[in-house]
């Protein structure tokens, strides 16, 4: 079972990313609105009435330029006071700012300021006209604007702010890195790798949590290993009295009692064998003994021993066989467990054994037409010692180890086992084994 934390909608990393993304977007929106507001303020400044101080000193500006006008003086004043000065007469058409788009010819009268001064409007610009000595002096205050240096400062500031935000995200991501490693460790432990330990690289609360999880894994591994060793020891010890009982049985006279005892002893011997095999396969140190086998041919050979089944055995093999490496003894045990279950619960109806090759997998399927397994029991039948009917008679039910053992054998080969069943219609067990 996978924990799947990385795909969860409430992923911590996803929420962290969304928070930082929202922060960056909000930061850029605020900067944009601020610059827009600044631009509107500049435009408003240009549309506001000229300051009283400026109006009171228009005469002084014109006096400083002189009559006839001193164009060099006018240019110096325009530069120092951030003005656009235009001088018109029949003999002069001069403008201090060649880049200005003021079209004096389109000036519209607004109001009279003094006997010789008028307020004019050129588009959205306000211009003061002073007529003196046959000359017209037009004065316009330049709107403030950002220089290239100002823009560079703004962009550098934005870049630095973005860098700080990304740096914060990287620091928080690194701070939460133990969470990712804890998730990976939990997935491996949940999958059965109890020897896996999460590396402890921190000495804070997350480091303490990592050490606690590692300690929990140590405890689980110790308990399961102790259970396994006890079970194996008991199973091996039981072999001795079973062997003696078999030997004593040979000296008994033929009869119903001897047959009954033989069946019981064989069942105990089978249980011990299944327990030992299940524990061997459930440990990480379990080793298969693989052989190169033509899979379909091998399954067909194993199926011959069940031809005596009264309900009929149908063996469906592909025309083209494929060679693969399997542990022949364990695949024999797997097939025997599943087919015996199918025969036991098949209600004397046909049992089908089929093999097919699907991509890089060999698919072995065993289907019966028996009573089937209800949905509530289907998800538990692969658990050790689980029996659908705990009160079932010994001749109709096993120990609850058969399908569990088959599941372990399939997994040991790198494959999987799937069970489909419908009450009253039968059960199909499908084994998928990798060919390579």
Q: How far is CA 405 from CA 27, 332, 419, in A?
A: 61, 12, 14
Crossing angle (nearest 10°) for helices 148-175 and 12-47: 160
User: Distance between CA atoms of 18 and 172, rounded to whole angstroms?
Assistant: 13
Q: How far is CA 199 from CA 214, 308, 376, in A?
A: 9, 58, 40
Q: Any idea which residue has 């949940």 for tokens?
A: 190
Is the Cβ–Cβ distance between 360 and 435 less than 8 Å? yes
Is the Cβ–Cβ distance between 138 and 36 less than 8 Å? no
**Average pLDDT of span 357-374:** 91
Q: In the structure, what pLDDT confidence band is assigned to residue 256 with cuts at 50, 70 and 90?
A: confident
Q: In the structure, what pLDDT confidence band is assigned to residue 387 with cuts at 50, 70 and 90?
A: low
Among 115-129, 214-228, 234-248, 342-356, the minimum mean pLDDT is found in: 234-248
User: Distance between CA atoms of 137 and 127, rounded to whole angstroms?
Assistant: 10
SS3 247: helix
Is the Cβ–Cβ distance between 315 and 304 less than 8 Å? no
98-130 tens-digit pLDDT: 767 778 888 888 888 878 888 888 877 888 888
The domain limits of the chain are 5-45+147-175, 49-141, 200-282, 291-434
Q: Does 291-434 match 200-282 at the fold level?
A: no
Is the Cβ–Cβ distance between 433 and 364 less than 8 Å? yes
User: The domain 200-282: what is its CATH number?
Assistant: 1.10.287.130
Q: In the structure, what pLDDT confidence band is assigned to residue 431 with cuts at 50, 70 and 90?
A: very high
Residue among 408, 413, 409 nearest 435 (CA): 413
Fold of 291-434: Heat Shock Protein 90 (3.30.565)
- Does this model's pTM top 0.95? no
Residue among 193, 173, 172 nearest 184 (CA): 193
User: Distance between CA atoms of 295 and 151, rounded to whole angstroms?
Assistant: 75
Among 159-168, 301-310, 365-374, 427-436, the minimum mean pLDDT is found in: 159-168
**Average pLDDT of span 327-348:** 86
Q: Is the pLDDT of residue 52 over 70?
A: no
Q: What is the DSSP string of 358-379?
A: ETTEEEEEEE--SS---HHHHT
Round the average pLDDT of the chain to a whole number and report it.
78
């Amino acid at each position: 079972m996978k924990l799947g934390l990385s795909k969860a909608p409430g992923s911590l990393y996803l929420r962290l990313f969304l928070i930082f993304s929202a922060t960056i977007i909000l930061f850029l929106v605020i900067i944009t609105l601020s610059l827009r507001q600044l631009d509107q303020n500049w435009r408003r400044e240009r549309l506001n009435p000229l300051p009283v101080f400026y109006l009171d000193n228009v005469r002084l500006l014109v006096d400083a330029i002189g009559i006839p006008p001193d164009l060099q003086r006018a240019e110096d004043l325009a530069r120092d006071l951030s003005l656009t000065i235009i001088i018109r007469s029949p003999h002069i058409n001069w403008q201090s700012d060649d880049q200005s788009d003021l079209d004096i010819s389109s000036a519209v009268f607004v109001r009279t300021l003094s006997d010789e001064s008028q307020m004019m409007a050129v588009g959205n610009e306000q211009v003061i006209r002073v007529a003196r000595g046959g000359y017209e002096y037009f004065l316009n205050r330049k709107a403030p604007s950002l220089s290239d240096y100002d823009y560079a400062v703004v962009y550098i500031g934005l870049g630095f702010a973005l860098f700080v935000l990304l740096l914060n995200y990287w620091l928080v991501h690194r701070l939460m890195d133990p969470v990712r490693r804890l998730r990976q460790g939990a997935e491996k432990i949940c999958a059965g790798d109890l020897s896996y330990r999460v590396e402890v690289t921190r000495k804070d609360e997350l480091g303490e949590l990592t050490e606690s999880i590692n300690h929990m894994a140590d405890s689980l591994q110790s308990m399961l290993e102790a259970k396994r060793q006890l079970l194996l020891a008991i199973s091996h010890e039981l072999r001795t009295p079973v062997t003696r009982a078999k030997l004593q049985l040979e000296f008994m006279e033929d009869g119903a009692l001897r047959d009954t005892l033989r069946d019981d002893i064989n069942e105990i011997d089978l249980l011990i064998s299944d327990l030992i095999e299940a524990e061997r396969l459930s440990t990480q140190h379990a080793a298969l003994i693989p052989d190169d086998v033509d899979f379909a041919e091998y399954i067909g050979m194993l199926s011959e021993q069940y031809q005596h089944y009264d309900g009929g055995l149908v063996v469906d093999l592909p025309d083209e066989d494929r060679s693969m490496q399997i542990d022949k003894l364990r695949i024999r045990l797997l097939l025997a467990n599943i087919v015996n279950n199918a025969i036991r619960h098949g209600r004397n109806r046909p049992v089908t054994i089929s093999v097919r090759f699907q991509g890089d997998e060999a698919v072995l399927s065993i289907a019966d037409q028996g009573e089937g397994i209800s949905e509530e029991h289907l998800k538990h039948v692969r658990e050790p010692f689980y029996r659908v009917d705990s009160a079932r008679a010994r001749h109709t039910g096993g120990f609850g180890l058969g399908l569990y053992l088959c599941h372990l054998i399939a997994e040991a080969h790198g494959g999987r086992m799937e069970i489909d069943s419908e009450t009253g219609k039968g059960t199909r067990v499908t084994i998928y084994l990798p060919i390579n």
